[in-house]
Structure 1
Amino acid sequence: METLLVYNNGTFNKFWKLSVKGKSFTVTYGKIGTVGAVKTKEFHSVEACQNESEKLIKSKLKKGYIVAEATCQLIKESEMTETLFWELLEMCKQNGEDIDEQMEWLVTHLSKRPVKDIIMFNSIFNQYYRKSYTSSLWAAGYIVMGGCSDDCFDYFRAWALYIGKEEYEAAIENPETLLPYFKLLEEQDKIPQLEELSSIASLAYEEKTGHDDEEYYKLYTHLAKDDYVLPELELDWNEEDEEGLSKRFPRLWKAYSENPL
């Protein structure tokens, strides 16, 4: 359920939007034409949430707010697009000598943007991140690192995404295209893992608002409308089948089967 109210007295032009979902609601408010500020609240029951929602709506109506006829042009959409998302990842690499400094720059940059932009950055990340949840890429990670647990695979996929859009999509189709990047890591005595990237948005939210990641993910659920759950992944390879792995990825096997990163 969503309720959009507006207030205009000649001096102030404001909007107030309430979105209810189960036992929690999200309020978006601010000057008309902006993305506004956002906050969320959770209750012990659906009934309690509904009652509080109705009280808030009545309170706003008493203060002079009226029901808006349409959302068009009242609330500005997030400026975080897919193009900007990938541009920011490229900008990261120019704003830090090492990965820690680059991730710190990204957190700081995102924290200066509206909360909606932070949410959308995370949403776009998740949309692409899920595409790499494949048996083939997992097999490649296993060979290159000499083993690859669930968490390790998550961090491996984040690392691959950080390289760049075209390179990431090519790796999903053929993991051996990552060989030059593995070689570079080998020279630097590093491994293909980037755990920090998957939590960048929640860290930026915490830096911006002072609220923890639990509050962030409640808000994400409301604004991103992202209910996707990763499916069970059936691996079409066996770690004990060295011959099968070597035939599947001969270049990776030659480079890392004996000396993994």
Structure 2
Amino acid sequence: MKRKFIHQKGLSNKFWDIDYSGTTQKVVYGKIGAKGRETVKEFSNEVECIKSSESLIVQKTKKGYTEIKEGAKIPEKKELSENEKSEIHFWNAIEKSNKHKHTHWNEYDLEEHIESLTEHLSKWGKERLVSFEKIFQEKLVKLYTAEIAELYIILNNEFEFKDGVYTLDSYLSVDGFLYFRCWILLKGKTFFEDITKDINEFISGKYSFDIADCWAEELMYVSDEAYSENHENKDESEIRDAVSELFPKLNYDNGEFSLNREPKSGKELFDQYPELVKSMCELREQ
């Protein structure tokens, strides 16, 4: 049986073909347009060959490969813009450096993640680090919304519970809100996209975090720390300075930007997000 698969998501443009018959399994894989590499494996019987081949197919589809019909033309991959490529590199770096993304929240260590990310980025050249920093600042701007500010307040501010109602202090720390947005970015692309659509995704059951440690100030300096690993970074902010010079209107705090509306506070937050406020306040009381 011959089956053909391709993977054209993100930066990938690969093929993976499998042909299994009797006790012989042949796999050809590589970059689309190239000849590829071939592996041949012999099994003791046909059942084992089929079992192994079907297992490989399941693994590939889980990784994002899609099947194309025999004889069908492989679609031409859409050329990505430089910014799109930079964004893919950004999220890949964040997620690959998180050694505990598939483990329980109490095994996650923020400092370890930052150290691993710094080591990963230290292998990059200056131009690519500048692109990383630019995407980082753009994402901070994207998170500069009233809804994300409200999530910050729910997770961090003092609250009172009286007559079945939670009332939260409305104070929004400028620095704290910035470090909180950094923390969100460390959680990866899927969480970032979910939480920017609806902060109630925080209690969707898909995610589990230590809400007592939701500031990540260190992420602000990671690109320069990575650059310093292999270069003499005299002012300790060479990458950030380069981004500021190239993109002067990109201010991740509040210079050129303002919140889309005034964040809700006090009892209003409980009225707007009853389940989120209740579950987070109860958790914080433990």
TM-score, normalised via structure 1 length: 0.60
Aligned to 2:57: none
Alpha-carbon distance change, 218 to 143 in structure 1, aligned in 2, over 3 angstroms: closer
Q: 1:173 Cα shift?
A: 1.7
Which residues in structure 2 correspond to 1:169-248 (within 5 Å)? 169-179=193-203, 180=205, 183-185=208-210, 190-211=212-233, 212-222=235-245, 224-229=246-251, 230=254, 231-233=257-259, 235-239=261-265, 241-242=266-267, 244-248=268-272
CA RMSD of aligned residues (A): 2.9
Note if 1:90 corresponds to 2:95.
Answer: yes
Say whether the 8 Å CA contact 1:182–1:192 is kept in structure 2. no
Q: 1:139 Cα shift?
A: 1.0
Alpha-carbon distance change, 161 to 234 in structure 1, aligned in 2, over 3 angstroms: same
**Unmatched tracts of structure 2, length 5 or more:** 1-81, 101-106, 159-171
Structure number having the greater helix percentage: 1
**Unmatched tracts of structure 1, length 5 or more:** 1-76
Q: Secondary structure at the match of 1:252?
A: helix
Say whether the 8 Å CA contact 1:245–1:253 is kept in structure 2. yes
Say whether the 8 Å CA contact 1:78–1:117 is kept in structure 2. no
State the alpha-carbon separation in 2 of the partners of residues 114 and 178 from structure 1.
Answer: 36
Aligned to 2:278: 254
Aligned to 1:100: 111
Count the aligned residue pairs.
179
Cα-to-partner distance string for 1:49-83 (whole Å, 9 max, x where unaligned): xxxxxxxxxxxxxxxxxxxxxxxxxxxx8996211
State the alpha-carbon separation in 2 of the partners of residues 110 and 80 from structure 1.
Answer: 16
Return the letter of the residue paired with 2:147: S
Percent identical across equivalent pairs?
A: 26
Cα-to-partner distance string for 1:148-184 (whole Å, 9 max, x where unaligned): 4111111111111221212212211211112247753
Say whether the 8 Å CA contact 2:130–2:240 is kept in structure 1. no
State the alpha-carbon separation in 1 of the partners of residues 217 and 237 from structure 2.
Answer: 18
State the alpha-carbon separation in 2 of the partners of residues 252 and 182 from structure 1.
Answer: 13
